[in-house]
Amino acid sequence: MPLCMTREKIGSPEALNSLAGRLKERAGGRKMVSVCLGTGCRAEGSGEVYEAIREAVGELGLEDEVIVMGSGCHGLCALGPLVILTPDDIFYPKVSPEDATEIIEKSVIGSQPVDRLLYKTGGKTCRCQSEVPFYGRQERIVLGLNGIVDPHMIEDYIREGGYQSLAEVLYKYPPEDVVSEISASGLRGRGGGGFPTGRKWESCRAVETEDGKFVICNADEGDPGAFMDRSIMEANPHTVIEGMVIGAYAVGAEEGYIYIRKEYPLALNTLQCALEQARDYGLLGHDILGSGRDFEINVARGGGAFVCGESTALTASIEGRVGEPGAKHIHTTESGLWGRPTVLNNVETWANVPEIIKRGSRWFASIGSEGSKGTKVFSLVGAIKNTGLIEVPMGITLREIIEDIGGGMAGNHGFKAVQTGGPSGGCIPADHLDMKVDFDSLIEVGSMMGSGGMIVMDESSCMVDVARYFLDFLRTESCGKCTPCRDGTEQMFMILDRICRGKAGEDELGKLEEIAELVRETSLCKLGSSAPNPVLSTLRFFRDEYEAHIRDKKCPAGVCSALIEFSIDQEKCVCCGRCANECPVDCIAGTAGKPPAKASEEDHQEGKVGEPFLIDVQECVKCGSCFDVCPTDAVEKK
């Protein structure tokens, strides 16, 4: 946005209001093209689309009428690059740079959709985002401004009503009322534990100290494959900052930290830019909005380990010590960073705060289920059609997420399980698909909310192999400090590995359960105490699969290579020889030609008849190449 304004300190709520008014006026009447520059779309080439659209606008001399904006994640990553046009409300998936001119000429100038570019599903053509089923079931509080604000322009956020909650709090509410409002909303921590945020704030607020308090934003997001927090920071960093300033006021902190994962350079950059702009406007730093209150936010870079997201390891890491958990009997709210009272909340938790203040705790508490209020952001991945970033009301069922939003299974395999809660979460089978997704229900089935990972698995997944995969992650991410977690997860992994290789004895399942209980009950921190979850939950729902591996030396899903054998159905083989061509160890023999069953007398005379192919199982390395290429599914995996 060519917005030539110097950023001056805003000295009062009225000044903030009038700035928002001017910004609205300026934007009014202008058309906007919002190109998703989130990680998923970027990988599909949205950067080029963005450039092409800017170029097209330039060539047509429309710079003053049309705003081209690179925005944060819109969510439907599976269909990227995504482009949204406002105010005409047109939604284009899978846009390529060549489409740029047509979009500008026909849709932006002419306000008409380009039919061939619209999203089509189930015989229906969707013109706008809300018609797309993926978005239909969602409720966007935290992600609401994704695609509407440019994360690098604080003015966009202010225009949309940003920092109004802060102004209201500073001038109208005493700190204890802010805390009660958050308590009444029922907001619970989105970082995994689901601890009531209001209660946490209250216990920190109640501590009397001369030495200062801290608020911290946990942006370590260590779950492999998770990108919820990152997307929030990259798309709308000010909602996190505003939440933190409100929290700091409520508990009486003058200094804060954002602890951000080392591997997030883009989010870090966006955040730093946002902090700078907030300081310029006096929304952060000294004498915020003329209220006489001070609050500063520092950025700390993560230690690069999964365990650094754990609260005591995180504070140790900020203090410059080794990022290692310590015993936690005294709450962080009493003695946290440098021994001072500290509130630690997750990115998404902070991001909910401004909206709760703006729309009231009643409104927030009206969304969600009994014990879990509001929405939750999930990264929905795996064997479904629409993968991406979603925000849904708590209490929605797994089935609604998978079928309505996810669009159902992607391949031709049926549903098997959904894994929630990150690496130390659990696997939930098909007969629980109608359960509610909220903190307490997930724990009841042996899984957890975690930070919001959701992996859908189909029948081609082996649950023992899945448990083995997560234990492999956890045993290497265990900090190694305490015996049960360090050596217990290692022993569990070794047993799982033996099971997958068909080398486990009958007594090992019992042993596995015994160590799992030990690790859960006696580890020092939550990494250890939750590490057995993947094993315990798969044992609970898929015990027969473990038993098949151990007793029958079979992997029913055909995943564990030591337990499967490839063979060729001689009746089905059409003697094409493709399998033999693909086999890396040349262990498939046969003669290419006409299949004997279809050969005529003539073919025989001319020597055109082939001989069905056979696999030498002794030599086979079980890579599955033959299985993949066979045109008639003659290769069998058992």
Partner 1 sequence: MSEIHFNINGKEVTCRRDEMLLDVALRHGIDIPAPCHHFALPEDYGACRLCLVEIEEERWTGVDAACTYPVREKCIAVRTDTEEVRRYRQLNLQLLLARCPESESVRDLARSMDVEASRFPGIQRQNSDCILCGLCVNVCENLIGAGAIGFVGRGAERRVAAPFDEPASQCIGCGACAEVCPTNAIKTIETEDERTIKPFSPPLKLVKCPECGKGCMTEKQLEFMKTQLGNKSDVLAGCPACKVRRRAQEFAAVLRGKE
Ligand X SMILES: Cc1cc2nc3c(=O)[nH]c(=O)nc-3n(C[C@H](O)[C@H](O)[C@H](O)COP(=O)(O)O)c2cc1C
Contacts to ligand X by CB under 6 A = 189-193, 195, 218, 220-222, 306-307, 309-311, 344-346, 349, 451, 525-527
Taking the complex as a whole, the smallest distance from the CB of residue 469 to partner 1 amounts, in Å, to 15
Please say which residue, 233 or 504, places its beta carbon nearer to partner 1.
504
Which SS3 state, helix, strand or coil, does residue 374 take?
A: coil
327 burial class (0-12, 13-18, 19+ CB within 10 angstroms)?
exposed
Query: Torsion-angle region of residue 450: left (phi > 0), alpha (psi -120 to 50) or beta?
Result: left
Taking the complex as a whole, the smallest distance from the CB of residue 523 to partner 1 amounts, in Å, to 8
The one of ligand X, partner 1, ligand SF4, none whose footprint includes residue 305, by CB under 5 to 8 A per kind, is: partner 1
Q: Residue 183 corresponds to which tokens in the numbers above?
A: 């308590």
Say if strands 83-86 and 66-71 run parallel, antiparallel, or are unpaired: unpaired
Beta partners for residue 415, in sequence order: 458
Q: Which of 90, 462, 479, 564 binds partner 1 (CB under 8 A)?
A: 479
Taking the complex as a whole, the smallest distance from the CB of residue 217 to ligand X amounts, in Å, to 8
Task: Kindly state the DSSP code that residue 407 receives in the 8-state scheme.
Answer: -
Site for partner 1 in 559-578 (CB under 8 A): none
Q: Which of 26, 140, 511, 572 binds partner 1 (CB under 8 A)?
A: 511
Taking the complex as a whole, the smallest distance from the CB of residue 98 to ligand X amounts, in Å, to 40
The one of partner 1, ligand SF4, ligand X, none whose footprint includes residue 222, by CB under 5 to 8 A per kind, is: ligand X
Only segment of 168-176, 450-458, 507-515, 620-628 that touches partner 1 (CB under 8 A): 507-515
Task: Kindly state the DSSP code that residue 160 receives in the 8-state scheme.
Answer: T
Cβ atoms within 10 A of the Cβ of 69, count? 23
The one of partner 1, ligand X, ligand SF4, none whose footprint includes residue 192, by CB under 5 to 8 A per kind, is: ligand X
The answer to whether 132 and 74 have CB atoms below 8 angstroms apart is no
Please say which residue, 374 or 528, places its beta carbon nearer to ligand SF4.
528
* DSSP code per residue over 42-87: HHTTHHHHHHHHHHHHHHTT-TTTEEEEEES--S-GGGPSPEEEET
Residue 491 binds to partner 1 (criterion: CB under 8 A): yes
Please say which residue, 268 or 574, places its beta carbon nearer to ligand X.
268
Q: Residue 630 corresponds to which tokens in the numbers above?
A: 């066979």
The one of ligand X, partner 1, ligand SF4, none whose footprint includes residue 483, by CB under 5 to 8 A per kind, is: partner 1
Burial code (b: 16+ CB inside 10 Å, e: under 16) for 17-41 equals eebbeebeeebeeebbbbbbbbbbb
The footprint of partner 1 on this chain (CB under 8 A) covers a number of residues equal to 31
Which SS3 state, helix, strand or coil, does residue 217 take?
A: strand
Taking the complex as a whole, the smallest distance from the CB of residue 262 to partner 1 amounts, in Å, to 15
Residue 487 binds to partner 1 (criterion: CB under 8 A): yes
Please say which residue, 188 or 578, places its beta carbon nearer to ligand X.
188
Q: Which of 29, 211, 327, 618 binds partner 1 (CB under 8 A)?
A: 327
Please say which residue, 475 or 554, places its beta carbon nearer to ligand SF4.
475
Q: Which of 330, 585, 597, 617 binds partner 1 (CB under 8 A)?
A: 330
Taking the complex as a whole, the smallest distance from the CB of residue 514 to ligand SF4 amounts, in Å, to 18
Residue 503 binds to partner 1 (criterion: CB under 8 A): no
Q: Which residue has the tokens 């989010």?
A: 267
Please say which residue, 129 or 317, places its beta carbon nearer to ligand X.
317
Site for partner 1 in 342-381 (CB under 8 A): none
Q: Which of 481, 526, 549, 554 binds partner 1 (CB under 8 A)?
A: 481
Taking Cα atoms as reference points, which of 68, 154, 62, 73 lies closest to residue 109?
Answer: 62
Taking the complex as a whole, the smallest distance from the CB of residue 526 to ligand SF4 amounts, in Å, to 7
* AA identity, residue 464: V
| Integer Rg of the chain from CA | 28
Residue 246 binds to partner 1 (criterion: CB under 8 A): no
Please say which residue, 346 or 478, places its beta carbon nearer to ligand SF4.
478
| Alpha-carbon gap, residue 118 to 233, rounded angstroms | 29
* DSSP code per residue over 579-609: HHHH-TT--EEEE-SB-GGG--HHHHHTT-B
Burial code (b: 16+ CB inside 10 Å, e: under 16) for 332-346 equals bbeebbeebbbbbbb
Binding mask 519-558 for partner 1 (x = CB under 8 A): --xxxx----------------------------------
| Alpha-carbon gap, residue 15 to 19, rounded angstroms | 6
Q: Which of 322, 562, 597, 621 binds partner 1 (CB under 8 A)?
A: 322
Q: Which of 482, 535, 550, 564 binds partner 1 (CB under 8 A)?
A: 482
The one of partner 1, ligand SF4, ligand X, none whose footprint includes residue 346, by CB under 5 to 8 A per kind, is: ligand X
The one of ligand X, ligand SF4, partner 1, none whose footprint includes residue 334, by CB under 5 to 8 A per kind, is: none
CA geometry: angle 206, 211, 215, nearest 5 deg: 60
Taking the complex as a whole, the smallest distance from the CB of residue 327 to partner 1 amounts, in Å, to 3
Q: How far is CA 57 from the centre of its chain?
A: 34
Residues making contact with ligand SF4 (CB under 6 A)? 307, 325, 478-482, 485-486, 523-525, 527-528
Taking the complex as a whole, the smallest distance from the CB of residue 370 to partner 1 amounts, in Å, to 22
Taking the complex as a whole, the smallest distance from the CB of residue 262 to ligand SF4 amounts, in Å, to 18
Residue 320 binds to partner 1 (criterion: CB under 8 A): no
Please say which residue, 51 or 490, places its beta carbon nearer to partner 1.
490
Q: How far is CA 634 from the centre of its chain?
A: 39
Taking the complex as a whole, the smallest distance from the CB of residue 323 to ligand SF4 amounts, in Å, to 10
Cβ atoms within 10 A of the Cβ of 76, count? 25
The number of helix segments (H) and strand segments (E) in the chain equals 27, 19
Which residues neighbour 327 within 8 Å (Cβ) at sequence distance 6 or greater? 312, 524
Q: In what order do the strands lie in the sheet with 214-219?
A: 296-301, 255-260, 214-219, 342-346
The site for partner 1 (CB under 8 A) is made up of: 305, 322, 326-327, 329-330, 475-484, 486-491, 494, 511, 514-515, 518, 521-524
